[in-house]
Structure 1
Amino acid sequence: MRWSRSLVAPVATLTLALTACPAGPNPPAGAPARSAEVAAPSSPVGPAEITLAFAGDVHFAGRTAGLLDVPTTAFGPISSTLSAADLTMVNLETAVTTRGSPEPKQFLFRAPTTTYDAVRAAGVDVVSIANNHTLDYGRDGLADTVDAAKAAGVPAVGAGVDAAAAYAPWITRVSGTRIAFLAFSQVDELWSEWRATETRAGIAMTRDLPRAVAAVRAARQRADVVVVYVHWGTEGAACPPAEARAFADEIAQAGADIVVGTHAHLLLGDGWIGRTFVQYGLGNFLWWRNDAYSNDTGVLRVTLRGAEIVKTALVPALISRRTGQSQLAGGQDATRILREYADLRGCTGLAASPTG
């Protein structure tokens, strides 16, 4: 898409110098599968810079359903911002299916397979399907969601035919750096019924803590950089709950380098746990109806030099009240969003810069 990569496994402004934790060695064949802007000084010789981009919740229902009539333009002009990164990830918050029976819950989402055409056209490289809507139409719907992703060539992490698949990372290589992506859900609604087990399809859940931590540790052994995308938090609350903060601590210790999240329907703050960069909430991104807690959103950009995080920045955006698409914010809107975003760190318990 924007560079040549080899697949390894399926399935506001602050400036300071950073140092990186060394990556672990390669394990034997067959082993189980870092706000405001932060910059480091440039070096004339060294690893190539790699840009990762992250955005929030994506739905194709209500006012956004018609966008799939032309999948190539479904995300709108902000696709150029997503495509500019070497790797881009969003949360795909819908079942991709025409089958299945509705689950006993209030909000149900499903979309056609052209969803993945839209995702690819927007420059998205990998999606999280670990959320509280992927099983809205049961395990038939989940199977279709996973199968459609495979058919479209879009890696989808965080759910699968069993726990081994749901907790498996997608690992890819960019400019010699191996990057692993995992996803988990912490939403309590139907979590026990939806969780993946050894014999049952489902979602990778944070509440299966030993399994989730083990998945991060295993990815750490296989990759230079580990990214974890989590569906967590409280809807409408701008501060992360204790459960989210505790899980962030656990996976930081297990080896996660970058942790990003969604679910609260508004922006939450970011910062550091040691040398792990954590972003607690990216808000809505392609939103199905005009009732969001906030239309403020953005694209998080994380710049690596090899396995070292050298810069993080939120590119501010606003959700259109007409189309539900995110659009880059400018002028006073951009200034306001970045100012308010910086203030959100105060209730996260996160540090303003890496430590240790």
Structure 2
Amino acid sequence: MPRKPRVDIALVTVGAVGLLLAGCTPASVPPAPSGSRVSSSVPAASSAGGRPSGSVPASSRPATPGTVRLGFAGDVHFAERTAALLADPATAFGPAAAVLSAPDLTMVNLETAIAVGGRPEAKSFTFQAPPSAFAALRAAGVDVVTMANNHAADYGSAGLAQTLAAIRDTGFPVVGIGSDAKAAYAPYYTQVNGVRLAIVAASQVREETLAHFTATDSAPGIANAYSDRLTAAVWAARTRADVVVVYLHWGTEYQSCPNSDQRALADRLVAAGATAVVGSHAHVLQGAGWRPDGSYVAYGLGNYLWWRSFGNTQDDNGVLTLTFTRGRVVSAAFAPARLDERGIAVPVTGAVAQRILGQWDQARQCAGLLATPPG
């Protein structure tokens, strides 16, 4: 499905609420074809995607060679009220699409099995969606997703087989899941505006999926953040890319402060060469900002397209846009949003926006992160 023209939106710059960021250095991937904004070299479980070659939205600012804007949002799935949105995949994300389409490349966590029918696992909550979910994501401006989470195998081995088939058949770029460990931990490589990007994903949530569906040398599943394969993947990606991003499923549900496992893993990934680490799972916004070493972490981005509302901070979310230049995050903006009755993340303004931005800033302080780059 062709990408709709992208719309520039007014993002709240991090300076206004106390958030900016920084990162790393360069390496090597084939050059992008002339005239193409995004070119892709993808791992075993993924396929080429991203912005259509040569298509430059009329409303976008001219691309600056060596600079790229990456957008990140939290958890997405199509269950109960959000299942109805797939009746028309082209409009499923409603007004959220303008925000998602604005960066050069946008990523979310797809927290569902892509399967139809079958038997759910013995869990409190199980989610599935048809392959049209990928059409909805693409139409909304999402370029790559992680499926390394605690709901990717909600429909067991049969559902996992359907999921992998849908990824293959739709050609949508997916990380953190695969037909074996090599595919599940493989980075997604792409080049945007001359910047070589690598994206890796894994789950740190200890529950049935990690216990029974961690990918191995001979079995499909998700990437496990407790495995040394994750840091090895980051090290390897660092030799090929200017920017390495790791998207994680982690944290303690309903807690805005990161737990000790999150902090320790962030340390290991940054040491391995991650430029930025982002994540989701806690159902609330967690802290985002610079570490004293200059790397950037966004611990949790909340529920972005979600099946239920609770009338509290679980409905607050947004899109984080990081701008990378010379392998470092040089600026950031957070566009606050809130779930509506359809489960769509609708951009907010005024008092609601200020409340969410205040919450975002408070969470940053709780995480011990800096509002501006060190030094």
TM-score (norm 1): 0.87
Equivalence map 1:15-164=2 (5 Å): 21-24=24-27, 47-164=65-182
Query: Which residue of structure 1 lines up, in the alignment, with residue 319 of structure 2?
Result: 299
- CA contact under 8 A between 1:100 and 1:139: conserved in structure 2? no
Tell me the CA shift for residue 348 of structure 1: 1.1
**Is the 1:257–1:275 contact (alpha carbons within 8 Å) kept by the matching residues of 2?**
no
Quote the Cα distance in structure 1 between the aligned partners of 2:22 and 2:77.
38
Count residues in correspondence: 332
CA distance in 1 between partners of 2:188 and 2:216 (Å):
19
Q: Deviations over 1:8-64 (max 9, x none)?
A: xxxx6268998863313569xxxx99xxxxxxxxxxxx7443211111100100111
Residue in 2 aligned with 1:40? none
What does the per-residue CA deviation read over 1:103-124, in whole Å, with 9 as the maximum and x for residues that have no partner? 1211000011110110110010
After TM superposition, which residue ranges in structure 1, 4 or more long, deviate above 4 angstroms? 14-20
Q: In structure 1, what is the equivalent of residue 241 of structure 2? A: 223
Q: Answer yes or no: is the 8 Å Cα contact 2:105–2:142 preserved in 1.
A: yes
Correspondence for 1:336 among 344, 352, 355: 355
For 1:63, what is the secondary structure of its paired residue? helix
Counterpart secondary structure, 1:54: strand
Query: What are the ranges of 5 or more consecutive residues in structure 2 without an aligned counterpart?
Result: 6-13, 31-42, 45-63
Relative to 1, partners in 2 of residues 1:86 and 1:263: Cα closer, same or farther, differing over 3 Å?
A: same
TM-score after normalising by structure 2:
0.83
* Alpha-carbon contact 2:20-2:331 (below 8 Å) kept: no
Does the C-alpha gap of structure 1 residues 352 and 16 become closer, same or farther in structure 2, counting only changes over 3 Å?
closer
Q: Distance in 1 between matches of 2:96 and 2:19?
A: 29
Report if aligned partners of 1:229, 1:259 keep a CA contact under 8 Å in 2.
Answer: yes
SS at match of 2:95: helix
AA aligned to 1:249 is: D
- 8 Å CA contact 1:182–1:229 kept in 2: the answer is yes
Q: SS in structure 2 opposite 1:117? A: helix
Query: Equivalent residue for 2:345?
Result: 326
Check the 8 A contact 1:234/1:240 in 2, yes or no.
Answer: yes
CA-based RMSD of the aligned residues comes to 2.5
What secondary structure does 1:178 align onto?
strand
Q: Which residue of 1 aligns with 2:337?
A: 317
1:344 Cα deviation after fit: 0.9
* Structure 1, unpaired ranges of 5+: 4-11, 34-45
Q: Which residue of 1 aligns with 2:306?
A: 287
Give the fraction of aligned pairs with identical amino acids, expressed as a percent.
51
| Residues 56 and 262, structure 1, Cα contact 8 Å, conserved in 2 | yes
3-state secondary structure, aligned to 1:327: strand
Distance 2:294 2:189 in 1: 21
